[in-house]
Amino acid sequence: MEDRIIQTEYSEVMEKSYIDYAMSVIISRALPDIRDGLKPVQRRTLYDMQELGIKYDKPYRKCARIVGDTMGKYHPHGDSSIYDALVVMAQDFKKGLPLVDGHGNFGSIEGDGAAAMRYTEARLRKITQTAFLEDLDKDVVDFMPNFDETEKEPVVLPVKIPNLLINGAEGIAVGMATSIPTHNLSEVIDATKAFMRDNTLTTRELMKYVKGPDFPTGGIVCNQDELLDIYETGTGKLRLRGTVVREKGKAGKTNVVITEIPYTMIGANISKFLFDVAALAEKKQTNDIVDITNQSSKEGIRIVIELRKDADVDNFINLLYKKTKLEDTFGVNMLAVADGRPETLGIRGILQHFVKFQFEVTTRKYKTLLAKETERREVQEGLIKACNVIDLIIEILRGSKDRAMAKKCLVEGDTTGIKFKYKESRIMAEQLMFTERQANAILEMRLYKLIGLEIEALIKEHDETMANIYRYEDILSSRDSMTQVIINELDDIKKEYGRKRRTLIENTEQAVYVEKKAEEMDVYFLMDRFGYARTIDVATFERNNEAALAENKYVFMCKNTGKVCVFTNKGLLHTIKVSDIPFGKFRDKGVPIDNISNYDTTTEEIVCVASQSQLNLYRIVFVTKDAMLKIVDGGEFDVSKRSVAATKLQDGDTLVSVEVLKEQRNIVLRSNDGYFLRFPLEEIPEKKKAAIGVRGMKLGAKDMITDVYYTQNAVEQTIEYKDKMLELNKIKLGKRDGKGVKVRA
């Protein structure tokens, strides 16, 4: 037992196990093969459909059947991954060349998911059979055992077109990811043909054929000058834009219509685009939008934005490019499995691997065809020769006791035991030297083959076989001939399945949006005790003055171009642009303050809200729970950042009060134990916002400041304390850092 115990470092075992796992994910699941451009799940699904006979000219079959059969035979990784792969291969808005013909709900470009596999049906497309699966019976690729060694599956499909470029690929492995854009079938085939004729072509020369990516959603690639570097290295970023047209609307208005979207907007990003456009209007970033409707249908994308009469259309379109997904980037990383390992390649490297694979497949194909034609020639020559001595063969068959005796005579000329009618026949029979395959064909030949026309057909068939043999031998012996064969197949595919380019390639400058300066005016900021904030115009406030003050915790005037400052108990200052706060009617609910700022409702409490322009005119008093006080010039809080530290706090201390100083003369501190201390504000020193401050009141061991009040000279001010009214001006005036007086109920 001790001999079988292996002692090793745990870290080494973990490292090896993780590397094995990572490579398994990379090679067996996440990345496509550079030869056929397919991931294992895609390859297995297509092969299983071929094995089930679900061809383009046959009836559709339930996707559940396809998924179940694929999972049971070849891909034991769960049904969802197989069905997802099947759905994507059927979606013409994701694939430049769909490989599966789906019947039923296979999702939509707007992000709707496909129906459950028990409802949908599918079959192979003609291109898939023609260019992906056609030659599997000709020993063109290797087969390997499936996961339980009960079936055989192809290592790679004999794909005749550079599918990796045409359909692209997306996948996330362990520590690496692939992202290859789709390309135009006709352009890629032209580039492949050119590379086969001259394998010294550079990337720049290949790009005379492949202009750039061609997405099924159309759109525009805006950085044409950067494509050379992307195709040279296999990595980079594409700048994509949707296609926008202008249409005349009602009453002289202009409609901006999006007819094509960037490839990255497929799915949920269309709804996000609509939401973002609506948000531009809500946040007052533009006042040009009258209405937005999504009129997309099976005929294509059509998103209509109705603009005001006097709108600057060019500037508005630039706003869409800057603030929404109508302009987006597509990260290119042309990573695929080449020679058993992941490798990032440019377009030249991809075509190099593909062309090499094509020559390997074509060589194996024509070797198989040549072997079959050679066998056929052998049989045909035997039958022709047999027809010339048919009387002798009939005599041999009639004189033989069994098949073996007759066959031995035909192959070896052994006449032992055979009865002949004439002596000359024996002599002639002894000279027969048919091959074993020929002898079997003769013995299995039917009598109708002796008809004159059948013999002529046999001779004609033999001539065709000889022509095929000469042709196959020429293809196998001459690279030029084999190149021409591959090119002819590519031409046939291009002729039948080629289409015009959908994506426009050009150089476009970055969109420049000139933000219209809002007309500056006074507005009133209202925020209720629940933290909902809004702004209203001055006239509306004046009509609802009493209700506004009664229903809201914070009410003050500010400029619509200014900022609002929110101080919290954590000593933080959060700034909010007034333009980001909803402007509307008095009874509008508003928006939660935490939705438009960095204020965190889970960890912070609001202590004070004020206009930044107001703070610039005055000084501010800070009071903490531990009775630390200071006065700070309000100008220090005129900051551009959304969140900054408003004051420095000691460990465990929190901010209790922030007050803007105007006509106040005295400050009153109230502690939790019932002590009140009133003293002049002049005793509080002015400091910087980064200072802690000075002590304002001596507190007991567990006492703390709970409330802060301010009084004016000769102005009576009362508060309710323990169910009684307390006049603050009657509290004895003391000194800062005193203990204060205890007020009893």
DSSP letters along 474-538, please?
HHHH-HHHHHHHHHHHHHHHHHHH-----SEE-B-PPP---PPPPPP-EEEEEE-TTSEEEEEEH
Using alpha carbons, select from 442, 465, 455 the residue that is nearest to residue 376. 465
Task: Please name every residue paired with 306 in a beta bridge, in sequence order, or none if there are none.
Answer: 255, 291
Q: Of the candidates 132, 159, 186, which is a domain's last residue?
A: 159
Query: How many separate domains does the chain show?
Result: 4
- Residues 493 and 526 reside in one and the same domain: no
Q: Of the candidates 159, 174, 201, which is a domain's last residue?
A: 159
Predicted confidence at residue 92, as pLDDT, reads 92
Predicted confidence at residue 253, as pLDDT, reads 85
Predicted confidence at residue 516, as pLDDT, reads 66
Phi, psi for residue 475 in degrees, rounded to 5: -60, -45
Low-confidence ranges of the chain (pLDDT < 70): 1-3, 10, 15-29, 174, 447-453, 513, 515-518, 745
Q: Would 507 be classed as within a structural domain?
A: no
Q: Would 229 be classed as within a structural domain?
A: no
Q: Would 219 be classed as within a structural domain?
A: no
Q: For the chain, how big is the Rg over CA atoms in Å? A: 42
DSSP class of 73: H
- Residues 538 and 492 reside in one and the same domain: no
Q: Of the candidates 325, 340, 369, which is a domain's last residue?
A: 325
- Residues 572 and 699 reside in one and the same domain: yes
How far the first Cα of the chain sits from its last, in Å, is 85
Predicted confidence at residue 728, as pLDDT, reads 86
Query: What pLDDT, in 10s, does the model give residues 549-604?
Result: 999 999 999 998 899 999 999 999 999 999 888 888 888 888 899 988 999 988 99
CATH of the domain at 320: 3.30.1360.40
Q: Would 21 be classed as within a structural domain?
A: no
CATH of the domain at 106: 3.90.199.10
Q: Would 232 be classed as within a structural domain?
A: no
Phi-psi category of 419—alpha, beta or left, where left has phi over 0 and alpha has psi -120 to 50?
Answer: beta
- Residues 560 and 699 reside in one and the same domain: yes
- The position carrying tokens 């690496």 is 176
- Residues 624 and 700 reside in one and the same domain: yes
- Residues 643 and 721 reside in one and the same domain: yes
Predicted confidence at residue 394, as pLDDT, reads 81
Predicted confidence at residue 564, as pLDDT, reads 93
- Residues 562 and 702 reside in one and the same domain: yes
Structure tokens belonging to residue 285: 């970033």
Q: Indicate the SS3 state at residue 172.
A: strand
Predicted confidence at residue 17, as pLDDT, reads 67
Predicted confidence at residue 22, as pLDDT, reads 58
- Residues 249 and 152 reside in one and the same domain: no
Q: Would 340 be classed as within a structural domain?
A: no
- Residues 428 and 569 reside in one and the same domain: no
Using alpha carbons, select from 133, 136, 151 the residue that is nearest to residue 73. 151
Question: For residue 540, what are the domain limits?
Answer: 522-742
Q: Would 204 be classed as within a structural domain?
A: no
CATH of the domain at 590: 2.120.10.90
The residues that are catalytic are 119
CATH of the domain at 380: 1.10.268.10
Q: CA-CA distance, 173 to 204, in Å (whole number)?
A: 31
Task: Tell me the pLDDT of the chain averaged across its residues.
Answer: 89
Predicted confidence at residue 24, as pLDDT, reads 59
- Residues 460 and 540 reside in one and the same domain: no
Instruction: List helix spans (H) across 139-240.
Output: 163-166, 185-197, 203-206, 227-233
Buried b (16+ CB within 10 A) or exposed e, 494-528: beebeeeebbbeeeeeebebeeeeeeeeebbbbbe
- Residues 629 and 736 reside in one and the same domain: yes
Predicted confidence at residue 411, as pLDDT, reads 85
Q: Would 410 be classed as within a structural domain?
A: yes
Overall pTM surpassing 0.85 (yes/no):
no
- Residues 286 and 319 reside in one and the same domain: yes
Q: CA-CA distance, 623 to 23, in Å (whole number)?
A: 61
Q: CA-CA distance, 588 to 524, in Å (whole number)?
A: 14
Q: CA-CA distance, 717 to 700, in Å (whole number)?
A: 27
Residue 723 sits at the vertex; the CA angle it makes with 720 and 727, to the nearest 5 degrees, is 35
Predicted confidence at residue 454, as pLDDT, reads 74
